[in-house]
Every structure is written in structure tokens, then in C-alpha cells.
Amino acid sequence: MQDTLFVNLLFINIKKKIKPHWITAFVSGMIIGLLTYGYFMSNHFLTYDSMWNLYSDQNMINLGRQFLQYACGIGSYYDLPWLNGLLAIIYLSVTSVLVVEGLGLRSHINVVLASGVLLTFPSVISTFCYTFTLDGYMMAALLAAAAFLVTDRKKWGFLAGIVFLGTSLGIYQAYLSFAIILCILRLLLDILDRDNIQEIIIKAIKYMVMGIGSYLFYQVTLNLMLKLQHVELSGYQGIDSIQKFSFSTLPQGFSAAFMNFLNFARWSNVLTTTDAMKIAFIALMLLGVAAYLYFFIINKRYKCLFHILLTIILVAAIPFGATAVNIISPDLFYHILLRYAWSLFFVFVLALSERFAITENKRLNRIKYSAVSAISIFSIILVFQFSLMANIVGFNMHERYEKTYALCVRILDRLEQTPGYEHGMPVAILGGGPDFPSTDITANDLVGYFGTSGDYFVNSTQKCAEFMSHYMNVTLETIEYSEELKLWDTEEYQNCPKFPNEGCIIQINGVWVVKLNG
């Protein structure tokens, strides 16, 4: 009886501490996530990287991701779309709770829309193409949001924030920007909400200490684990610059970060794929700027030089915060997976819409009501358009699988019908993809997305061999890439017809060569 009473009291206590908007954020995130990515989770879509990761312990310490192995270990090291996808949606739904709490959203409609943006943003869509590491990456986003919130709410929370964000960086470095933009947007809201300048300064200092401390935590743990595992950082996309950072590269880094920010807004196609998306994107940005200026003026913040200067500094810092990794690695290809921080700008506009209060001025009230309604409508359009794009990506991924399967069947069939070839003989499949006209009907819409372009996801001997092994039960004997390079320069290869023409498969120096292209 006493045990039952204790459990009931504990449940009631927990229930009192859980705020209604937390439940709304989590539940809406789960529903929107499952509806948006059900196609991904019920199919096994592949990318160029998937061939090496159908089973992988995700030990990517050579890429500066020393904690990725442990984050992915919560689920499975197999590429399991349903399990990894479900874990990712759970992590993102919790992230939604942390973000709406941190940015002060309370209205249920705004909370639902914020969750919708965070779950369907194109960065998440592209990450769902890499289900083998999806759950780990989304945990990194959750930890970045947790680092922000605990630093914001607790006096000594920045200590936990250092560990949270440092661990997030050790899973995937991209979410540094997510945490930075969260901090910047929170400070911009505090400028509107707080009269006490000292409180804002203290909070800004806590954010900076948390950020610097997390980077040091990341560096120390990375170097320690590199030494323990006797591994060196790869030069892939400038990853090794983490250890070779020099202040002399800062001008180049800041320039690259700023241009990447502008180019994504203008030319990425990701936020402007359809006319409806373009209108919603532009409208929300304009409404957000107008709303912030309105509250800045109505709250008389223009009378305080500190508020003016801090606002200018924070706004100027946004492009660099959103592309922070570029400052450290100027040569980094800043693809869509690294752009998740952009989702927060739309959540910020929703947070501003909650600040419109009813007054005695009926005309002003109508303007406010129109602004709030417009923000809600354009946000709904944006979330729907993002969800639509997710399914278009899934559609293309399915077509790519079918085309790749058909291509590998044709290659294998021609190879087996070639006189003199026997299983076990070394094979080289050269030229990347075949020289066929593209049949990708989604190409124009998916410009800017990562991992979804093209008609096939095999472009080398090794990837074709991996695909045939797992999906066609055939083992090809391959050769080293250095040996393949020598075959390219031979006269026999240069004069060989392209696949599928007669004579496209020849034997050169004991290796059966399939010339796809080039």
C-alpha cells in the first residue's frame, strides 16, 4: 500500500513539473516526424557512403568524431532505417522541447509549428538519407540544444553546457552553429524583454564561457582518444585543420563563413524550391525583421546605447555563427547537413509573434492579428513544403536504388557472358557512372540537397562490388585503386568502347576491365 502511494505521489510530482507546451512540442514532433519520414523508415535507401556502412561501428575518430561510435551504439551498428529513424525522431522531438522552452514559446499552435520546422527542415531531410549514422547526428543536435538551455537557466549551468556541447562536437561538429544561433537569438529576445543590462551581460558571458570551454573539452578529449587509438586526423574536407588552427587563417575563415551564409540564402534552392516555399520564406523573414523592430521601438530600447550596440553586434554575428565551422576550416564544403541552425530563424519569428499583446487601439489590434495570422499561415506552408520535399527526396532515392540494381545486373550479366571470364578473376569497373542520358526527373528540385543527386549511388569498382555482394549474392575480386589508375593510361583502355557497346569488357594485364565511361 505504501509503495503504491509513493509511486502515485512521484507520478503526480513529475506530472506537475512537466509543462503543457513540453508535451505539445514532443508529441507534435513525433507525429510530424513519423508522417514526414515514414517513407524513409519503411524502405532502405542508399547513398555513396552506405556501401561502407551497412554494418559499421561508426568509429570516425579520424574525422574528429570521437563520440559518434557511442552515440550510434545506443541503437545498432547495422543500417536499420526504422530503428535509427525512430531514435532520430525521438531525439529531435526532445530537441523541440528544449528549443521552445529556451526561446519562450507557449502558444500551442506556435509550439506545433516550431516542432514542425525543426523536424522537417531540409538539413534533417538530407541526414535521413544517411540512416546508418542518423541517430547519432540527431543526438548531437539534442546535446547542443541542452547545452544552450542548461547554460541559460542555471547559475552554474555553463559547466554542464561545456560537457554537453563538447560531446555534441565530438559526435558531429556541425551542431556548434545550432548552439551558437540559439544563444544569439535568446540574447536578442532578452534585449526586448529585460531592462536589467547586467543580467544580459552576465548571460552573454556565460554563453561565451560555455562555447570556449566546450571547444577545449572537445580538443582535449579528441587528442587523448587519438593517442589512445594511435590514429591521426584525416585531411578529408579540412578536418585536420582542427589541430592545425592558426590565427593567420582567420581572415580567410571569416570571409568563407560570410559568403557561405549569403550563398545559402540566395542560391541554395533549399529554401526556395517551390514558389510557395519561396514566398513563405521571404515573408517570414520580412515579418520577423518588422516584428523585432516594432518591439524594439515599442519597448523604447532605442533610448539605451547598450541595447542598440548589442543588437548590432548580435545581428552582425549571425552569419558567422551560422557557419562557425567554416571559420576554423575555410576550405570545408558547407553542405546542407551543416545548415540546421537555419531552422531556428523560423522558430525565432514564431517566438516574436507571441509577444503581440491586445491593446485599446482597435486598429493596431487588427494589424497585430493580421501579423500573427500571417506568421502562422506562412509557417504552415513552409512546414508542408518541407515535408513535401522530404517525400520527393525519398521518391528519388527509391528510383536511384532501382536504377543501380538494374545497372549492376546488366554489368554482371555482360561480364559473365564474356568468353574467358570466370568468377574469382580480378575485375575493375572504371569510368564512374555509365554514359546514359539522365532520367532523374527530380534533379532541378533537389539542387542543394546532399546525397540525393544523380541516377546511381555506385561510381567505383569497390562500391559496385559491395552492392553486388549484399544485394545480388555475388563476390567480385577487386584490385587496389592504385592499380586501377595504371589501367586508365593503357592504350587498350583508351580504345575500348563504352558500356553497353560490344567490346566494352576487355582483359588488360590479367584484369577484366568494364569501361562504363571516360
Q: Could you give the CA distance from residue 404 to residue 410 in angstroms, rounded to a whole number?
A: 10
Whether omega for the bond prior to residue 500 falls within 30 degrees of 0, making it cis, is: yes
pLDDT one-digit tens code per residue, 347-399: 999 999 998 876 667 888 888 899 999 999 999 999 999 999 999 999 999 99
Q: Could you give the CA distance from residue 476 to residue 411 in angstroms, rounded to a whole number?
A: 12
State the cell numbers at 333. 564544403
CA angle 509, 514, 518 (to 5 degrees): 105
pLDDT one-digit tens code per residue, 180-236: 999 999 999 999 998 889 999 999 999 999 999 999 999 999 999 999 998 888 766
State the DSSP code for 512. E
Band of pLDDT at residue 10, cut at 50, 70 and 90: very low
Residue 334 has what pLDDT? Answer: 82
Long-range contacts of the stretch 9-12 (C-beta < 8 A, 24+): none
List beta partners, residue 78: 55
Q: Could you give the CA distance from residue 68 to residue 226 in angstroms, rounded to a whole number?
A: 14
Residue 86 falls in which region: left (phi positive, over 0), alpha (psi -120 to 50) or beta: alpha
List beta partners, residue 426: 477
Q: Helix 305-322 crosses helix 197-229 at what angle (to 10 degrees)?
A: 20
Spatial neighbors of 454 by CB under 8 A, at least 6 apart, are 400, 433, 438, 440
Q: Could you give the CA distance from residue 451 to residue 114 in angstroms, rounded to a whole number?
A: 26
CB atoms within 10 A of CB 481: 11
Question: Which pTM was predicted?
Answer: 0.92
* Residue tagged 536504388 (cell numbers): 401
Burial of 488 (0-12, 13-18, 19+ CB in 10 A): middle
pLDDT one-digit tens code per residue, 72-102: 999 999 999 999 999 999 999 999 999 999 9
Residue 38 has pLDDT above 80, yes or no: yes
